[in-house]
């Protein structure tokens, strides 16, 4: 699906009373829940997140994602707090990518996609980037991953979309631009 057609679909999707989901910084105690979150994603969602077939996170990967220094590396989780369905429904990580730059990667649980969770995570990420004086965010993804491409280009920040080959797209977000769109 193209970005333009996805935009039309998204315009028709109204926030369906988003469940009680809030975004917070990731913590070491999230380790097991983060592994559960990734294992619960559909194979396609894991493939689009990691650009390869994946069964989920290893213990080492999960531990690394959950242990950030909050200055150069950061992570956020979207957490559903509703009785027996409580748990992580979205994850965003930021890793250093050169001087004053960070790479961003995001995953949202299949049933919470296109409901504002990714936007909430990106709002937290851009706020962190500004506090830490990060001037550029980069995201590398499958060219067929129109939802994440649309999310990133609709932030209201200057973006540069590059097709780098083999069906891979890299989006660079200029953090020096205006405030994020609501």
- For residue 66, what pLDDT band results from cuts at 50, 70 and 90? very high
In a domain, 179, yes or no: no
Give the pLDDT score at 2: 43
- The model's pLDDT over 78-124, given as tens digits with 9 standing for 90+, comes to 999 877 677 999 999 999 999 999 999 999 999 999 999 999 999 99
Q: Which domain holds residue 33?
A: 3-9+20-174
In a domain, 182, yes or no: no
In a domain, 83, yes or no: yes
- For residue 52, what pLDDT band results from cuts at 50, 70 and 90? confident
112, 178, 120, 174: which is closest to 151 by C-alpha?
120
Question: Burial, 61: exposed, middle or buried (Cβ in 10 Å; 0-12, 13-18, 19+)?
Answer: middle
Query: What is the tally of structural domains in the chain?
Result: 1
Q: Which two tokens stand for residue 106?
A: 């995001």
Alpha-helical runs (H) found in 41-75: 43-50, 59-66
In a domain, 90, yes or no: yes
At residue 177, does pLDDT exceed 80? no
In a domain, 94, yes or no: yes
β-pairing, 101-108 vs 136-142, is parallel
CATH of the domain at 154: 3.40.630.30
At residue 4, does pLDDT exceed 80? no
In a domain, 73, yes or no: yes
In a domain, 165, yes or no: yes
β-sheet bridge partners, residue 88: 79
């Amino acid at each position: 699906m193209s970005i333009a057609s996805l935009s039309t679909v998204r315009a028709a999707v109204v926030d369906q009373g988003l469940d009680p989901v809030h975004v917070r910084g990731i913590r070491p105690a999230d380790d097991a829940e983060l592994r559960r979150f990734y294992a619960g994603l559909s194979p396609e969602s894991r493939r689009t997140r990691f650009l390869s077939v994946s069964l989920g996170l290893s213990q080492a990967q999960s531990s690394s994602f959950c242990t950030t220094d909050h200055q150069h590396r950061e992570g956020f989780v979207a957490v559903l707090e509703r009785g027996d369905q409580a748990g992580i429904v979205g994850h965003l990580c930021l890793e250093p990518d050169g001087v004053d730059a960070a790479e961003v990667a995001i995953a949202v649980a299949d049933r919470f996609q296109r409901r504002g969770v990714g936007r909430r995570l990106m709002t937290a990420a851009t706020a962190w980037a500004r506090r830490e004086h990060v001037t550029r965010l980069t995201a590398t993804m499958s060219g067929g991953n129109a939802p994440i491409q649309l999310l990133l280009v609709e932030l209201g920040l200057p973006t540069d979309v590059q097709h780098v080959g083999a069906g891979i797209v890299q989006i660079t977000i200029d953090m020096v631009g205006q405030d994020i769109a609501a």
